[in-house]
Amino acid sequence: MTEAKTPPGKRFPKGFGPATVAGLAYGTMPGMFSHALVLGKFYPPHAGHHRLVRAAAARSRRTTVAVLAASVESVPLADRVRWLAEEHAADAGVAIVGDVDDHPIDFHDDATWELHLGVVRSVLSRRAIADGDPRQAAVDAVFSSEDYGAELASRLGTKHVAVDPDRTVLPVSGTAVRADTPTHWDQLAPATRAGLCARVVVVGAESTGTTTLSRALAAHYRTEWVAEEGRRHTEDKLAAATALAGGTPPALDDLVWTVGDFADVAGTQAAREDEAARRGGPILVCDNDAWAATVWCERYLGVSRAFGTDRRPASYLLTDHVGVPFEQDGWRDGEHRREWMTGRFEELLAERGVPWVKVTGSREERLAAAVGVCDDLLSRHFRFSEPLTA
């Protein structure tokens, strides 16, 4: 989708923001509503949804986006709300409000309609309460691309605005995205990509080929690669120590490591991973992750501290130390700890309950094994439970 942008050096006319200019591009102007409703499952959100929201925002002072999820659906409601909120943060007047609607779909039954309308009215009330004025709950427009939009507007006693109902501008739907997510990846906003992508993390002891394997794997899938933050942090720590010593660099073994160092590594690693996930494809390859700092902290300090336990990738790949010569590049000092580290990774990975595979053999054999794991992962990762119908 091509969005209207401000020409270089120009400013929007008074009263015109990005959503208004977008509305002009979408052909939904003129006319201004006080409060518009956009309703859907957003399972998951895609470009068509974002176009619909911006079309409503372009013509409305306030736009409530009601994200109605059923309990049987496999993408959490909170994730959908968060992804939409991030994508529409700059769209004035837009509020994303999520709720659970487990009522069956039957657009020919008045009683079922009333059940759904009860949830919708609750969402509109919550938006108005959050805005500080419950009297502003009523809407004067329903924007939709669905067949039920006109009926919904009629039952709410308001106007219906159809936006690309035939999907001619953006031929995409939630059904199509769920059926083949990788093919429709370019129809997903950065936040949704970050939430849905399959994250694969390569971990292992020093000089066991984590960087070599992870870079080759990312190149194979033509996706983003996230570098190991621990190496970068070590270089920066040495530079800081040199400055503190008046310009004389200390020996690497003389660096003093603290728990705070590993907390910093974990935090930065997580942030860089999330940034790359927004840019990358259906699979993201990482050289270590925030959780790996748990093992490195124990290796350097001899104390157990857990990092990144709230983050669970789709799979780990553990590089075996056996058969890999130790290469001293000036930054490594743990040849004698490699066997211990491999074993420790195995123990903690088993405790995490996250899928993992140890890769062994030559570089070519390790890459082939890793590709096999990832191909199998991709065949299973993008599976969604069926949405609630009847």
Q: What is the pLDDT of residues 48-60, one digit of tens each?
A: 999 999 999 999 9
Q: Among the residues of the chain, which ranges form H helices? A: 18-26, 47-59, 77-87, 110-131, 149-156, 174-179, 190-196, 210-221, 229-244, 259-279, 293-301, 338-352, 363-381
Residue 30's pLDDT is what?
A: 56
Query: Is a pLDDT exceeding 90 seen at residue 331?
Result: no
Q: How do residues 133-181 score in pLDDT, each as one tens digit?
A: 999 999 999 999 998 999 999 999 999 999 999 989 999 999 999 999 9
Q: Determine whether 328 is exposed, middle or buried from the number of CB atoms within 10 Å of its CB (0-12, 13-18, 19+).
A: exposed
* Distance between CA atoms of residues 335 and 204, nearest Å: 12
User: Do the Cβ atoms of 16 and 58 come closer than 8 Å?
Assistant: no
State the pLDDT confidence band at 11, using cuts at 50, 70 and 90: very low
Of the candidates 217, 149, 177, the residue with the CA atom closest to the CA atom of residue 46 = 177
d(CA 129, CA 118): 16
Query: Reduced to 3 states, what is the DSSP secondary structure of residue 302?
Result: coil
| Mean pLDDT for all residues in the chain | 90
pLDDT value of position 15: 39
Q: Which amino acid is at 229?
A: E
Q: Is residue 36's pLDDT more than 50?
A: yes
Residue 87 has pLDDT above 80, yes or no: yes
Give CATH 3.40.50.300 domain extents, the chain. Answer: 197-381
Question: Which fold, 18-181?
Answer: Rossmann fold (3.40.50)
The answer on pLDDT for 377 being more than 50 is yes
For residue 9, pLDDT beyond 90: no
d(CA 70, CA 111): 18
State how far the Cα of 34 lies from the Cα of 141, in Å rounded to an integer. Answer: 8
CA–CA gap between residue 21 and residue 59 (Å, rounded): 10
Give the model's confidence band at 14: pLDDT under 50 very low, under 70 low, under 90 confident, else very high: very low
**Section 320-335 average pLDDT:** 69
pLDDT tens digits, 199-247: 999 999 988 999 999 999 999 999 999 999 999 999 999 999 999 999 9
Q: What is the pLDDT of residue 20?
A: 44
pLDDT (average), residues 27-55: 90
Of the given ranges (135-149, 175-189, 319-333, 350-364), which has the lowest mean pLDDT? 319-333
Instruction: State the pLDDT confidence band at 366, using cuts at 50, 70 and 90.
Output: very high
- Burial of 187-202, coded b for 16+ CB within 10 Å and e otherwise, reads bbbbbbbbbbbbbbbb
Higher pLDDT, 326 or 269: 269
The four Cα atoms 308, 311, 314, 317 give a dihedral, to 10 degrees, of 0
Indicate if the pLDDT at residue 367 is higher than 50.
yes
CA pair distance 63, 17, nearest whole angstrom: 14
pLDDT for position 326: 65
The CATH number, out of the four listed (1.20.210.10, 3.30.470.10, 3.40.50.10420, 3.40.50.300), of the domain defined by the range 197-381: 3.40.50.300
Residue with tokens 């491999």: 342
Which burial class, exposed, middle or buried, applies to 256 when counting CB atoms under 10 A from its CB (0-12, 13-18, 19+)?
exposed
Rounded-to-integer distance, Cα 218 and Cα 212, Å: 10
83 vs 85: CA distance, rounded Å: 5
CATH 3.40.50.620 spans which residues of the chain? 18-181
Per residue in 296-310, pLDDT (tens digit) is: 999 999 999 999 999
pLDDT for res 18: 47
